[in-house]
Chains A and B, each alone.
Chain A
């Protein structure tokens, strides 16, 4: 059941993004930025947390989930450490993903050669 929910809601987020790409002049890069900021806002409003409980990876895997991770990290860090959490929370929570993406991108750049497109 959780797999079906992950499929439906993850697919839905991507479908909305596709409509935005097709119907507006938004470039994919702007869509990615928009998705992350939207995730932060929805998390701040207390919507994304319950949604993630419900949809599992369908909420965690899209980049809106990355935004939720940032906002949730800030919230937890403020609760635990006070004002400094405003600055430390987001990047601390997302550090694994960002570091991994840098690492794999760099190693891929070492190994692979540019393909003519």
Chain B
């Protein structure tokens, strides 16, 4: 017991890294490629369906994203998404499905902490930073674009 208490933070880190099995890079990357590629093919198919329905390419793309977001959220609720993500890794997380999962998963887990500071706050655990830095960088780009445009024209 005394020994465990004496373990310093750094020692523990070394220990943990030594014990953690090395991540099989090639297998992980291959699976991410397959899962990610398959999701994009699904997105392409949904876009084609929505295009036939609405006739507008822009609306079709948006609707396809919405469909993927909805499906990912429901699959997260059933616990299927997390199982798939264990294999697919970045292939499940980097597509828009990962954004949906990143909101749904903490929202469900935070139910016991209440609906305002639990679900309401935790829903943005990962999505918040994504929206923040996305909006920030787009505003910085907008500023540069606006200044350049005003100077040149």
Residues of chain B at the chain A interface (Cβ within 8 Å): 23, 25, 28-41, 43-45, 47, 61-62, 64-66, 68-70, 73-74, 76-79, 82, 89-91, 93-96, 98-100, 102-104, 107-112, 119, 123, 125-127, 129-131, 133-135, 137-139, 141-146, 149
What's the Cα separation between A31 and B129 when bound, in Å?
11
Closest chain B residue, CB of each to CB of A15: B33
B93 & A28 in contact (Cβ 8 Å cutoff): yes
A71 & B91 in contact (Cβ 8 Å cutoff): no
B108 & A74 in contact (Cβ 8 Å cutoff): no
What's the Cα separation between A101 and B69 when bound, in Å?
6
B37 & A90 in contact (Cβ 8 Å cutoff): no
Closest chain B residue, CB of each to CB of A21: B90
A109 & B108 in contact (Cβ 8 Å cutoff): yes
Instruction: Choose one: B44, B70, B123; the contact of A57 (CB below 8 Å).
Output: B44
What's the Cα separation between A11 and B63 when bound, in Å?
21
Q: Would you give the shortest CB distance from A77 to chain B, in whole angstroms?
A: 8
Given the interface contacts A32-B93, A61-B40, A105-B104, does A74 sit within 8 Å of B142 by beta carbon? yes
As a 0/1 sequence over residues 44 to 78 of chain A, the CB contacts with chain B under 8 angstroms (1 = contact) are: 10000000000011101111011100110111011
Instruction: Choose one: B70, B78, B108; the contact of A114 (CB below 8 Å).
Output: B108
Closest chain A residue, CB of each to CB of B72: A104
What's the Cα separation between A70 and B142 when bound, in Å?
10
Does more than half of chain B's interface fall in helix, strand or loop, or is it mixed?
Answer: helix
Given the interface contacts A14-B94, A97-B66, does A41 sit within 8 Å of B137 by beta carbon? yes
Known: A31-B90, A97-B96, A101-B69. 14 other contacts (CB 8 A): A6-B43, A15-B32, A32-B102, A35-B94, A36-B137, A61-B39, A62-B94, A63-B130, A90-B135, A91-B135, A104-B74, A105-B73, A108-B73, A113-B108
Given the interface contacts A18-B89, A28-B93, does A63 sit within 8 Å of B29 by beta carbon? no
Given the interface contacts A36-B134, A62-B94, does A86 sit within 8 Å of B143 by beta carbon? yes
Instruction: Choose one: B29, B62, B90, B146; the contact of A97 (CB below 8 Å).
Output: B62
Closest chain B residue, CB of each to CB of A32: B130
B25 & A15 in contact (Cβ 8 Å cutoff): no
What's the Cα separation between A54 and B94 when bound, in Å?
20
27 contacts between A and B (CB under 8 A): A10-B37, A10-B95, A11-B34, A12-B33, A15-B29, A15-B33, A17-B90, A22-B29, A29-B102, A32-B98, A32-B126, A33-B134, A41-B141, A44-B145, A57-B43, A63-B95, A67-B138, A70-B135, A83-B146, A85-B142, A94-B134, A98-B127, A100-B70, A104-B74, A109-B108, A114-B108, A114-B111
